[in-house]
Chain A
Amino acid sequence: MAEQESGATAEQAAAKMKAEEEGMRVMVAIDESDGGLYALSWTLDHFMASSSTLARPRSLIVFHAQQPFQQFVVPAGQGVFVSASVTDSMRKAQEENSAHVLARAMKFCEERNVIAETLVMDGEPKEMICQAVQQMSVDLVVVGSRGLGKFKRAFLGSVSDYVAHHAKCPVVIVKPPKEDH
């Protein structure tokens, strides 16, 4: 059967081999919530375990989207204005927050002897995650789920729902474990 391999299948086989050498790019999207960290620990345990017998090497990207900065409008008498110093300090606080979130995530990775890249983008998390998937040629994206109720979900929009349907690669949605009642 090997001799009868057409050009197309030989190409496919070559592409597969190349993909295997390059390894699988896994991206975990985290936010400040515990759900995000749980998704990361799930990924680390199930995908990045060094004792895995699967041939394909895996690389991990930890992704964090910084929410678009909401301008705070301060009404003051007849006019409204945004004080520059307020904007600056808000931005600083946001950056510190992101740094803190990523630091926690990197610690998780270190504890499990996994080397990961980090990536931070500015914008709506759900859109940024999908963009990052394309830009970084991600093979698998893992998203935590906040477990919003039905109505909150419809109203606020769910990041995990959006990513599940729009990302151009396989998506894993990891829900935090149910608490025992």
Chain B
Amino acid sequence: MGGDRKIGVALDFSKSSKTALAWAIDNLLDKGETLVVVHTIPKHGKSDETKHALWAKSGSPLIPLSEFRQPEVMKQYDLEVDAEVLDLLDTASRQKEATIVTKLYWGDAREKLCDAVEELKLDSLVMGSRGLGQIQRILLGSVTNYVLSHAACPVVIIKDPDFKN
């Protein structure tokens, strides 16, 4: 048991993923550990491809929190980071003396999250769950389900606080 684990959190800026981020920071992150925020951006069209060709395959480089909180930097990636998330990450970095980095991927969330676990050698991955009904889950496909079965590390599922059975 060391204080040098890498905890991944899948963030799509939805409510459940922010809940997951908060939970991971409160309960899983130990002093001096590394929190890796993984965000996937679905590939849109041709216009994106040329711009992001550099990162399309392997994802963005690891972005430290100091850059992540700067809107000018995140504009490069066409990403607006909301204040709530930054607040959570700030607190984590101060209170837990944690190293916080973000990695962006382009493509299908399912595959990229599993890729992230392997590439970044994450010790665990925390994700939210939208609480889709049974049928919806089968029809729409569930990112959570896929990652549960395929990720190479333990996965923590945090339910939306409004989750109704």
Contacts and interface: CB of A to CB of B under 8 A. Distances in A.
Indicate, yes or no, whether A interacts with B.
yes
Interface of A: 24, 42, 45-46, 49, 51-54, 56, 140, 145, 150, 153, 160-161, 164-175, 178
A171 B1 contact: no
Contact of A178 (B23, B144, B152, B154): B152
Given A46-B1, A161-B148, A166-B165, A173 B31 contact: no
Contacts of B1: 45-46, 49, 51-52
A7 B31 CA distance: 31
B158 A170 contact: yes
Given A164-B144, A164-B148, A172 B31 contact: no
B165 A161 contact: no
A53 B154 contact: no
Interface in B1-42: 1, 3, 5, 23, 27, 30-31
Nearest to A39: B154
For B123, B124, B148, B163, which residue has the most chain A Cβ atoms within 10 angstroms? B148
Contact of B154 (A49, A52, A168, A174): A174
B27 A175 contact: no
Contacts of A150: 149
Interface residues of B, number: 27
B156 interface: yes
Nearest to A16: B26
Contact of A175 (B30, B31, B129, B154): B154
28 contacts: A46-B123, A46-B124, A52-B1, A53-B3, A54-B30, A56-B27, A150-B149, A161-B145, A164-B129, A164-B144, A164-B148, A164-B157, A165-B129, A165-B137, A165-B157, A167-B159, A169-B159, A170-B156, A170-B158, A172-B154, A172-B155, A172-B156, A173-B148, A173-B155, A174-B154, A175-B151, A175-B152, A175-B153
Interface in B122-165: 123-124, 129, 131, 137, 144-145, 148-149, 151-159, 163, 165
Given A150-B149, A172-B154, A178-B152, 13 more contacts: A52-B30, A56-B27, A160-B148, A164-B144, A167-B159, A170-B156, A171-B157, A172-B124, A172-B156, A172-B157, A173-B156, A173-B157, A174-B154
A49 B28 CA distance: 12
A166 B144 CA distance: 13
B10 to A, nearest CB: 14
B90 to A, nearest CB: 15
Nearest to B5: A46
A47 to B, nearest CB: 9
